[in-house]
Amino acid sequence: MTEAGPPQSVSLTIDGTPVTVPAGTLVVEAAKTVDTDVPVYCYHPKLGPAGLCRICLVEIERLPKLQIACNTPVAEGMVVHTHGQKVEDGRRAVMEFLLLNHPLDCPICDKGGECDLQDFSMAYGQGASRLADAKASKPKALDLGPTIVLDDERCIVCQRCTRFDDIITRERSLVVKDRGQRDVIATASGEPYRSNFSGNVTELCPVGALTSKTYRFKSRPWDNHRTATTCTQCSVGCQLFVDERYGTIARTMSVPSDDAISDGWLCDRGRYNIGFYADARRITAPLLRRGEQYVQIGWDDAVEAWAAGLRDALGAAGPQAVGVLGGGRLLNEEIVLLVALMQELGVTNLDWRAGRQRQATPGRYAGTYAELEAAQLILAVGRPPSQTAPVLDLRIRKAVSQRGARYVTYGGHAAGSFVGVTPLRSADDVENVLSGVERVAVVWDGIDLELGARLASAIDGWVARGVSVTTYLSGEANNARGAEALGMVPRSGGLPFTGMLDAAQNGRLRSLSIFGANPVLHHPLGGASVANALERIPFLVVSELFLTETAQRAHLILPARTGFEKAGHVINLAGDVLPVHQAHAAPPGTLADGDMLVALAAELAAEVPGPEDVLARATAALPAATHGFGDAAYSEGVTASKSDGMAAGKPGGGGLRIAVGSDIFAGGGTIWFDETLAELRPDPAATLSPATAARLDVHIGDRLDLLSSSGDDSLQGLVVRIDAGAPDDVVAVIDGLPEAPANSFADGDNVVLGARRAADALEPALVLP
C-alpha cells in the first residue's frame, strides 16, 4: 500500500468564507482570494515573508495570540479573522510604534497620496501621539546614489529595499547599519548605491524614505495622467506605466502584474530615460541642407523633396540605386508600411541591421521567459544579457539563486550577473557541462553568425539526444525581431546595409532613407568608413529625434516621434506582440514615421495598405521558424565579432584582444540627449583583469590609448579599470560611446597599447574613482 503524499490543497475559512488554496500558501495571500487585503509593509509577494513590521496581525481560532499573516502558512480547517476588535487593537499598537519617531512630513513628502503608512495611519492610527519625549532626529535628503535620495527619518526599517538587493538582484549593496532607533539604510561599502535596477527600491519603499531624484517634488499622484504601454528601450518588452503631468512626463512605474514579461521589475534605463523628450536639442522641423547649412522647411516641402530625390534615383539608375535602413525605433505598423511602399517602388535594398547584431530571430527552439527560468543550465554566448536585456538577466539570476540552475558563458565577456558563473574557454567545454542536464536555455547576442551556425548545429545534436532546449536572442535593437519578421530584410537579391555602403562608395547608390538608426556610431565597418560612404550618396534622408552622427550627413532630416509619443505594436525577443500606447503629446512639428510614409506614398501616387490591413499584418502571430542561429540567410560579409578567438588562447605578439561590450547607458541616442542621466552614462574605459594590468604595468585611473594591430584605428584616453572577473589578456571597452566610438574594432581583434599616462600625472578632475 502506497503512503499518501502531502496534501496538494488546503481548505480553511477566512472571515466566514470557505477557501481552498494550494498547500504552503501564506495567510496574507489566501486572504486575497476573498478580496481581503491584509495591511503589509515588509511583505512583498516577490520577496517572501520577513515578519518585521507586524502590521499584518490576524486572529486565528484556537491560537492564543494574534499571528502575522505574512509568515503563517495555511493549515487544514484553519479559521482566520482579518477584522475584529482584537485585530484592530493589535494593528493600532503596531502603528503607534511605527509613528513614534516618524516626522509629520506628509504635505511635502513625495509619497503623499500613495503612501501605505499614510493609509494605514488613517485606518489604525491614533489621533495624537502619547510620546512625551522629542522625536529622534535623523539625516534628511541623503544622496544615496545617482538616482536616489534617502530621507532616513521616514524609514520604518521594513527592509524591502535591502531584501530586493539581496534576493532579486543578488548585488547585496544595501544594508541596515547601526541598531535600534539609530539604524539607517546605507551601502555595505560606503560607496554610492549603483545598480541597473535601483529605481525598483523607490517603488518598493512603502513610505517616503527612498525617493527618486528625477521625480522628487515634481507631482502628486492625483495630478498625473497614467497610461500603460510597452517599454521600447530594449527587446525584453517590459510593461510600464507612464505618468504625465500637464504635458510633461513625470515618471514611469512598473506594472506589478506583468509576471509573464518583466516579473514586475524595471531596469533603470527603461525607468529613467525620459528626460530627452523635453530636451531643447530635439529636432522639431524638417531640415534641408543648403551648402554647409541646414534651413527649416515645411512638411509639404520636405515630403516633396523626399519624393523628388527618390524619383531622380529611380529614373537615373532604377530600384537598385535606392536603399532603406529601418532601425529598431520603428513600430510594426511602420515597418509594414515601409516594406509595402518599397515593394510598390520595386526597391529590394532593405535592412534593419545598423549595428553589430546580424540576426534577431531565435529560430525553431524559441522559448518563453518562464522556460528560461525553468532551465537547469543557461548558456550565454557573446555579449551578456546583463547589459543588452537587463530584466532578462534578472530571470537568469532568479533561475540560478532560487531554482539551482547553472550559468555558463562563452565569448570572453564578463557576465555581470552577481551570481555564480562558469566562463568557458573552448566550445568543446560546452559538452562537458551538459552531463545530466535535461533542460537547457541558450542566450545568444546575434553578432557572430559563424559561431551562431556552429551553436545551432550543436543544439540540434542536444535535442536529438533528448535534451529540451530553448533559445533566446538578446540584441541591440528593441524591435529587431519585428523588423526581421515583417520583411525589413533584403529581398530578391537586394543588398544588405553593408552592401548598400559598398554601393555608395562606388557611386551605385543614389538615394538612402534611414529611419531611427545611427550607423556612423554603431556599424562594425567603423564610423569613418560609414560616414565616408554616406557622404557619397547624392540624396540621404534621415528620420531622427536629434542631430546624431548619421543625421549630420543627411541632405534632408525629418523630425520623428518615438516611444511614448506614438501608438502601435512591437515584437519582443520572446516573440510576444505587444501594444505601444501613446502616453505623451509629441512636440509640434514632428511626425511618427508611419505618418511620414503615408505622406510620401501619397506624393509618389504609390499604393500602400490601409489601416485595417496594416494592423492585421502588424499583430499577426509569428510563423513557426524553420532555421536556427547563424542561418546563412543573415550573412552580409561583415565581421563584428570573433567570439571564438575571445574565449580561448593568447593574443598574437604578446598583446591584447579587445572585447567590445555594451552598457545599458551607452549607445548615444536618447541616453546621450538626456542630461538627467549624465551621471549614469559610462566613461570611456579599458577594463583589465588584475593579472593583465600587472603585466602591462598599468593601474586604476591611468589613461591609455589602444591601437589596432594595423595602427589604422585607435581609442584614446581610456581610463583604466580593474575587474577581478575579467578574463586575462583581454581589454574590455564599451561600444556606442560618441566620445570614444569603438565600432571599428571587432570582438577578438588583436590590439596594442599606445600612449599611457599615469593617474598621478593627470589633473585630479580626470581621474575617476
Residues 362, 573 contacting (CB under 8 angstroms): yes
Classify the phi-psi angles of 293: left when phi > 0, otherwise alpha if psi is within -120 to 50, otherwise beta: beta
SS3 324: strand
| Locus of grid cell 515593394 | 343
- For CATH 3.40.228.10, the residue range(s) in the chain are 369-473
**Amino acid, single-letter form, for residue 707:** L
Among the listed residues 671, 666, 676, 757, the one whose alpha carbon sits nearest the alpha carbon of residue 718: 757
661, 387 contact by CB (below 8 A): yes
Q: Return the pLDDT at 646.
A: 44
Q: How many CB atoms lie within 10 A of CB 114?
A: 16
| Distance from C-alpha of 159 to C-alpha of 164, rounded to nearest angstrom | 8
Q: Are 611 and 584 in contact (CB under 8 A)?
A: no
- What pLDDT score was predicted for residue 4? 57
Helix/strand number for the chain, H first, E second: 22, 33
Partners of 206 in beta bridges: none
Task: Kindly give the pairing relationship between strand 287-290 and strand 293-296.
Answer: antiparallel
Is 47 exposed, middle or buried (CB count within 10 Å of its CB: 0-12, 13-18, 19+)? middle
Half-sphere exposure of 630 (CA within 13 A, CB side): 18
The contacts of residue 345 (CB under 8 Å, 6+ apart) are: 310, 314, 319, 322, 604, 606
Beta bridge partners of 323: 349, 512
Closest listed residue to residue 211, CA positions, set 136, 112, 120: 112
Write the CB contacts of 80 (distance below 8 Å, at least 6 apart in sequence).
12, 13, 14, 15, 27, 30, 31, 58, 59, 60, 61, 69
497 to 140, 313, 355, 735: CA distances (angstroms):
54, 17, 10, 19
287-357+480-608 CATH: 3.40.50.740
User: CB–CB of 726/732 below 8 Å?
Assistant: yes
Q: Which residue has the cell 536529438?
A: 464
Instruction: State whether the Cα torsion 691-694-698-700 is positive or negative.
Output: positive
Is the CB of residue 269 less than 8 Å from the CB of residue 196? yes
**CATH 2.40.40.20 residue ranges for the chain:** 649-757
Of residues 204, 199, 196, the one with CA closest to residue 234: 196
Distance CA 171, CA 401 (A): 12
The pLDDT value recorded for residue 459 is: 94
Distances, alpha carbon 645 to alpha carbons 652, 659, 748, in Å: 11, 10, 5
Cell numbers representing residue 541 in the block: 534622408
CATH superfamily of 369-473: Dimethylsulfoxide Reductase, domain 2 (3.40.228.10)
DSSP H or E stretch at residue 672 = helix 669-672
Ranges of residues in the chain with a pLDDT under 70 are 1-6, 636-654, 760-769
**Cβ count within 10 A of residue 137:** 10
Q: How far apart are CA 136 and CA 342, in angstroms?
A: 70
Helix residue ranges, H only, 346-407? 369-374, 385-388, 390-403
Helix (H/G/I), strand (E/B), else coil: 512: strand
Nearest in space to 646 (alpha carbons), one of 355, 386, 410: 410
Q: Which three cell numbers stand for residue 578?
A: 505587444
Residue type for 658, please?
A: I
- Helix (H), strand (E) at residue 557: strand 556-559
The three-state secondary structure class of 212 is: strand
What's the confidence (pLDDT) of residue 766?
39
d(CA 331, CA 570): 6
Contact between 267 and 279 under an 8 Å Cβ cutoff? The reply is no
Cell matching residue 267: 531596469
Residues 6+ apart with CB under 8 A from 4: none
Q: How far is CA 443 from the centre of its chain?
A: 15
Distance from first CA to last CA of the chain, Å, rounded? 68
In the chain, CATH 3.40.50.740 sits at 287-357+480-608
Beta pairing, strands 439-444 & 468-473: parallel
Q: Contact, 36 vs 57, CB < 8 A?
A: no
Where along the chain do the CATH 3.10.20.740 domains lie? 9-98
Contact 754, 731 (CB under 8 A): no
C-alpha cell at 203: 517603488
Phi, psi of 730 (to 5 degrees): -130, 140
What's at 331, amino acid-wise? L
CB-CB contact of 173 with 232 (8 Å): no
Yes or no: domain 649-757 corresponds to CATH 2.60.120.560: no
Q: How far is CA 480 from the centre of its chain?
A: 14
3-state SS, 607-632, equals CCCCHHHHHHHHHCCCCCCCCCCCCH
Answer yes or no: CATH 3.90.1150.10 is held by domain 9-98.
Answer: no
Chain segment 484-540, per-residue pLDDT in tens:
999 999 988 899 999 999 999 999 999 999 999 999 999 999 999 999 999 999 999
* pLDDT of 638: 55
